[in-house]
Amino acid sequence: MSRIGKKPVIIPAGVKVVVEKQYFTAEGPLGKLTQWFSPNVRVNVDAAANSVVVSRANESRDAAAMHGLYRALIQNMVNGVTKGYEKRLEIFGTGYLFAVAGTELQVRAGFAHEVKKQVPVGLTVACPDQTHVSIKGIDKQLVGQFAAEVRAIRKAEPYLGKGIKYEGEVIRRKESKAAAKK
C-alpha cells in the first residue's frame, strides 16, 4: 500500500472540490484546476471529514503505481488554488539580464541575439530587477516547466558561474586549466 496514497488530502476553507466521472476539479481563491484521473484509482470526497480520499480500484500493478501519483497531484492542485507556486531564477554574467515586455520574457545571456520566451497563459512573470525573475502560478507543473525552459537557455557553467540558475542553487565550481598548471 502506498504510504503517500493512503493519506487523505485535507480541503482548506474556501476550496470547492468536485469529482465527475474521471475528472477532479478544485476551485479556490486563486483559480480553478481540473485533472483527469485513471480508471485504476477511485477518488472520493468525504464531506464529513472535509477531505479527499484516493484508493485503488483493483490490485493491479498500474493501480499501485498510480495510487500515490494521483493523491500527490490532487494535493498539489489544492495547494495551488489556495497558496499558488513560485520559482525564482537569477542570472549572472556581464551584460546578462532579464526583461518582461507584455507577454514575453526577454533574456540576454551572452548570445548574439536576445532570446524571447512566450509566457504561458496562467503564469505571472515579474522582474524585480534585471538579474532576477519570479514565475508565479497555480499549476505546479506549468510553473516548474517554464522555469526549467528559461534555465535551459543558458545553464550556469562550472568555471565562472555565468548563466541562469534557480535562486539559492549551488553551482559546483571547477578549477580552470591555468590554475592546474601552477
121 class by beta-carbon count within 10 Å (0-12 exposed, 13-18 middle, 19+ buried):
exposed
What is the rounded CA–CA span in Å between residue 4 and residue 165? 30
Buried-exposed string 159-182: b where 16+ CB fall within 10 A, e elsewhere: eeebbbbeeeeebeeeeeeeeeee
- Within a domain: residue 182? no
Question: Which of 44, 6, 40, 10 is closest to 24 using CA atoms?
Answer: 44
State the 10-residue block means of pLDDT for the chain, 182 residues long. 84 94 95 94 91 93 92 96 96 94 94 95 95 96 97 94 93 82 71
Contact status, residue 106 vs residue 44, Cβ threshold 8 Å: no
Question: Which of 138, 173, 169 is closest to 151 using CA atoms?
Answer: 169
Beta pairing class for 132-137 and 85-92? antiparallel
- Within a domain: residue 181? no
What does the pLDDT read at residue 3? 84
Q: Which three cell numbers stand for residue 68?
A: 500515490
Q: What angle do CA 153, 81, 119 make, to 5 degrees?
A: 25
Q: What angle do CA 92, 97, 98 make, to 5 degrees?
A: 120
Neighbours of 38 (CB within 10 A): 14
- Within a domain: residue 66? yes
Its domain, for residue 30, covers 9-82
Q: Write the CATH number for 122.
A: 3.90.930.12
Domain boundary among 82, 105, 138: 82
What does the pLDDT read at residue 6? 86
Q: Are residues 98 and 41 in the same domain?
A: no
What does the pLDDT read at residue 1? 59
What does the pLDDT read at residue 4? 85
